[in-house]
Structure 1
């Protein structure tokens, strides 16, 4: 099967989808910049990536965070376009320029407005653990919003993509190596053994929050029910729970007996109710319950969302 035409993903300029995409891009860039500027830099947390390098340069050479990151992102992204093609295109350039602008511009604006601590407004003092936790969450939200626009914030993901193409090594492994190397550089520069632990905690939380922003959070449960009393359980789901589902033929592995299996999705509150009903109707029923990460379609979230 041929890949979908990239035009399918393009929004018509000045359409509602176009404004939504670029609005998310601006908001995501702002949130990402605030996460680095207000939670990472003041506490010398180095969560990998270009902004990890920028934090080191800020403390050793006095470079502004956003400008230092921009100096790395611009040539990296140009190299990415040359080696990888146009997927690192206009939105990626807009994104890392916006992040750099917000990272340096917001503290400058706070300073001009007379804020006593423009570069560390939350004044967490020695609460570096709190900074790493909240920073990981805030940065994860920002990156997630940016990724939802089918863009990238630039940085080491471009570098690792280039390395992957040149070395044919997995991107995930290369990303881990590059980010861990930057974290260890922070240890060598700042001479504080706690920095890598705070940094890796931030990286872990960033990944979890990015997944939630990208895939959504759902407490719904998917039931797969193999039973000899298919009709009774079907009636209970339809009449008592007011839920739908699918019935599909299955065959037992041991004796190859043909049966039917119900697949349905219920809320977390309904999960226990359905479990008890299945046990009451058929104690021998074989039931598998899975977390439903995201449910799209009739009766749930609309596909366009």
Structure 2
């Protein structure tokens, strides 16, 4: 996160939401270093979070907040060595680095404070609005502030790009890119298809009892989850047994259990 902030985002006043984005705006206005602003804003947020939300936002949040500011301070000393001034490249690579950092933090069950903590606190008092929507509202205000400070609409637009990339990359990191494919198979030959999957692919098959709304007939729906490398094989296998089979394939972002990843 510190790499993305110091070498890509801050030099171009690209503020992809969050307290760190606000810190970039504050530094542009007042000259106060963003590592200082990050701490100053997050400390009262952290204290309020402990009172409002309990100890689940405890040690890991404090560690994440302090560590981020510390790494920003270390990297600022070498800031003039490598700085990217192309706005598109800065928003792309800054967003990627920030997303990787935030994703790793979230995956470890921590947080760096910021809008996720602020959103959770506000949700306590405004329960009708979800935490995600509150976070997005705060982030969009910070993105808009970056454009106002620079007096350039482009700055806000590039900040939005960085924010979008950050969120997507963080999601990928948290989900571990460990997605698989789930097959729902409706066929007149469920037993034959099921045995073929068990014997050839070595994958388990679950039989779901179902009833057709139009026909009123009871049917068996086969549910099978396979690796991406087995998707084509399973399609050909089903087609070879029953050309009229109805097959639905959907992406499963995480599979825990026998044959896949252990919990």
TM-score (norm 1): 0.81
**2:43 aligns to what SS in structure 1?**
helix
Q: 1:101 aligned to 2:63?
A: no
User: Mapping of 1:1-305 within 5 angstroms?
Assistant: 32-108=1-77, 118-125=78-85, 127-168=86-127, 169-303=129-263
Alpha-carbon deviation of 1:38?
1.8
Contact 2:2–2:75 (CA under 8 A) maintained in structure 1: no
Alpha-carbon deviation of 1:261?
1.7
Alpha-carbon deviation of 1:296?
1.4
The number of equivalent residue pairs is 262
User: What runs of 5+ residues in structure 1 fail to find an aligned partner?
Assistant: 1-31, 109-117
**1:136 aligns to what SS in structure 2?**
helix
Between the aligned partners of 1:128 and 1:248, the Cα distance in structure 2 is 53
Which runs of 4 or more aligned residues in structure 1 lie more than 3 Å from their structure 2 counterparts after TM superposition?
Answer: 120-123
RMSD: 1.6
Between the aligned partners of 2:104 and 2:228, the Cα distance in structure 1 is 27
**2:178 aligns to what SS in structure 1?**
coil
Contact 2:91–2:158 (CA under 8 A) maintained in structure 1: yes
Which stretch shifts more, 70-79 or 245-254?
Answer: 245-254
TM-score (norm 2): 0.93
Contact 1:224–1:262 (CA under 8 A) maintained in structure 2: yes
Between the aligned partners of 1:207 and 1:297, the Cα distance in structure 2 is 28
Contact 2:203–2:259 (CA under 8 A) maintained in structure 1: no
Alpha-carbon deviation of 1:183?
1.0
